[in-house]
């Protein structure tokens, strides 16, 4: 199945919204981080800054991702997307780890008091904007099923949750009398930053693992493989095909699915084969937006030299 130019334009439009949103947040978060000297706001600014830098080339990559496969590029240009996801995920993970180390050092030197009220209101507004962008991207990606848009959507979702957590944490010393906990107030900004970093880091690590699986043409995660088998298997079994072998690979957003059938007889009906393959494609199309499917007879290798010797 091939995705048309309409989807390409929609994907580019969705990524552009994320790009300009990131650029806006990077500017205001850097201003706020300098004004308040908050490491938590700096975490947001650096995170969004990395996303913005990585997002720029991804928009120019989109036309390549829609080019068809050929002899020179049997998997098309989809692996560029996987490589991009790996680079972006690695960069995000490295930045997050660096910020954790930096904040531990600040805590060891006595911490730092910041303007809690100002940061709390800022993060609350950021949360509302982040949720809005995340919902917009989710609606757009329902049809496209783009890994790039999916990753951006997850980034905005994480930012929104993080902003809400920061808003609640920084409202606490403003609204509640701390009493005996007052000595811990200089460490609050660093504690929030470290907790958020630990909360954020699984997402880029997971993206790196998925991207590496795709780059090395390792079958996708077990859940995807089982879903494909449950979609195609019943159709093939209904036509009496029992001995099946699945060869499943994912490159970026596209799945390459080959199902090999072992026959007990030497004769194969091509007309019947074509009908079954069409039914399988229709079933898969209800679940996946971009895939290649082929149904093939399993042909065993016969050693002709050994056969002649007998």
Indicate the average pLDDT of the chain.
81
Could you give all domains of the chain from N- to C-terminal order, each with its CATH number?
A: 5-215 (1.20.1510.10), 222-309 (3.30.70.1350)
pLDDT band at 3 (very low <50, low <70, confident <90, very high): very low
Residue 119 has pLDDT above 60, yes or no: yes
Output the CA–CA distances (angstroms, integers) from residue 249 to 78, 98, 152, 257, 263, in the order listed.
12, 34, 23, 7, 24
pLDDT band at 36 (very low <50, low <70, confident <90, very high): confident
130-156 pLDDT per residue, tens: 899 989 888 888 777 777 788 788 778
Strands annotated E in the chain: 244-251, 254-261, 291-297
Residues contacting 77, CB < 8 A, separation 6+:
64, 65, 67
Averaged pLDDT for residues 277-285: 93
16-30 pLDDT per residue, tens: 888 888 889 889 989
177-215 pLDDT per residue, tens: 666 667 777 888 888 888 888 887 888 888 888 888 877
pLDDT number for residue 2: 44
């Amino acid at each position: 199945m091939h995705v048309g130019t309409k989807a390409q334009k929609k994907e580019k439009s969705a990524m552009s919204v994320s790009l300009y949103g990131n650029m806006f947040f990077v500017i205001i978060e850097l201003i706020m981080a300098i004004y308040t000297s908050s490491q938590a706001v700096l975490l947001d600014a650096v995170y969004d800054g990395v996303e913005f830098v990585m997002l720029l080339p991804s928009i120019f990559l989109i036309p390549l991702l829609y080019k068809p496969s050929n002899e020179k590029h049997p998997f098309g240009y989809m692996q560029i997307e996987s490589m991009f996801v790996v680079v972006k995920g690695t960069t995000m993970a490295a930045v997050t780890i660096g910020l954790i180390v930096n904040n531990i050092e600040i805590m060891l030197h006595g911490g730092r008091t910041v303007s809690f009220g100002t940061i709390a209101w800022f993060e609350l507004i950021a949360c509302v904007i982040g949720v809005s962008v995340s919902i917009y991207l989710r609606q757009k990606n329902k049809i496209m099923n783009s890994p790039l848009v999916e990753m951006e959507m997850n980034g905005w979702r994480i930012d929104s949750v993080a902003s809400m957590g920061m808003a609640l944490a920084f409202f606490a010393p403003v609204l509640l009398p701390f009493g005996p906990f007052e000595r811990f107030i200089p460490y609050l900004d660093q504690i929030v930053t470290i907790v958020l970093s630990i909360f954020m880091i699984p997402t880029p690590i997971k993206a790196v693992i998925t991207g590496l699986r795709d780059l090395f043409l390792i079958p996708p995660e077990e859940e995807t493989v089982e879903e494909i088998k449950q979609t195609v298997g019943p159709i093939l079994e209904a036509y009496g095909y029992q001995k099946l072998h699945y060869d499943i690979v994912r490159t970026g957003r596209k799945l390459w699915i080959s199902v090999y059938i072992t026959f007990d007889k030497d004769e194969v009906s091509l007309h019947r084969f074509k009908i079954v393959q069409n039914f399988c494609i229709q079933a898969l199309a209800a679940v996946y937006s971009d895939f290649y499917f082929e149904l093939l007879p399993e042909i065993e290798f016969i050693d002709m030299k050994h056969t002649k010797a007998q």
